[in-house]
Amino acid sequence: MKRFLIPGLFLISITALALLLFGNDKKNTAGFPSEALSSIEGLKIIHRENGNIIWTVRAQKADFRLDGNSPELSGIEMEVPGNNLLLHSGKGIYNISTGNFSTSGEVTAMGSTYSIKTTAIDYDAATGEMRTDGMVQVEGKKFRISGKGMKTEAGHRVKVLKNVQATFYR
């Protein structure tokens, strides 16, 4: 019996040491990419200036990566109360240091008198401007404008940059 005990313990020790040193090749079953260090469900980020809410971002899920500064968001809703704007997107990245925000995939934004559809939007927190280089469609009750590229400006102005096609209704 002693003859089998020592080699058995040796074999178990070597196997345990190999697993600790080399890990295992099992697939990640947690539901998020293996690079994610942590994940938050139901995230809400509020940006305030002088006590006033400038914008609020809600995400169904946020995956934090190694840099810890730019979580990847999914199921995004951004509200800008001062502009009466509500934006929806499937995915995006929020930069914690700068407050800048970028979306990817289909983006729909609804204002009080218009709607915007595009493929991606970059939001600059310092200026409050939104920008896209993709195709964009802006539609209101009495107009429809489409083109490539868009920039928002102070005073609730939306500027379509290239290949502009516009239709106005009475």
**Pairwise CA distance, residues 95 & 123, whole Å:** 10
C-alpha 155/C-alpha 70 separation (Å) is: 29
Per residue, the 3-state secondary structure of the chain, as one string, reads: CHHHHHHHHHHHHHHHHHHHHHCCCCCCCCCCCCCCCEEEEEEEEEEEECCEEEEEEEEEEEEECCCCCCCEEEEEEEEEHHHCEEEEEEEEEECCCCCCEEEEEEEEEECCCEEEEECCCEEECCCCEEEEEEEEEEEECCEEEEEEEEEEECCCEEEEEEEEEEEECC
Average pLDDT score, the chain: 80
The pLDDT of residue 139 is 93
Q: What is the pTM of this model?
A: 0.69
Q: Per the domain annotation, does 51 fall within a domain?
A: yes
Q: What is the pLDDT of residues 122-164, one digit of tens each?
A: 988 888 888 999 999 999 999 999 999 999 876 567 889 999 9
60: in domain: yes
In a domain, 2, yes or no: no
Instruction: Say which CATH number the domain at 49 has.
Output: 2.60.450.10
Asked if residue 69 belongs to a domain, the reply is: yes
Residue 153 lies in a domain: no
Which residues of the chain fall short of a pLDDT of 70?
1-36, 154-156
Range of the domain at 113: 35-133
Report how many domains make up the chain: 1
Whether 58 is covered by a domain: the verdict is yes
| Residue 168 belongs to a domain | no
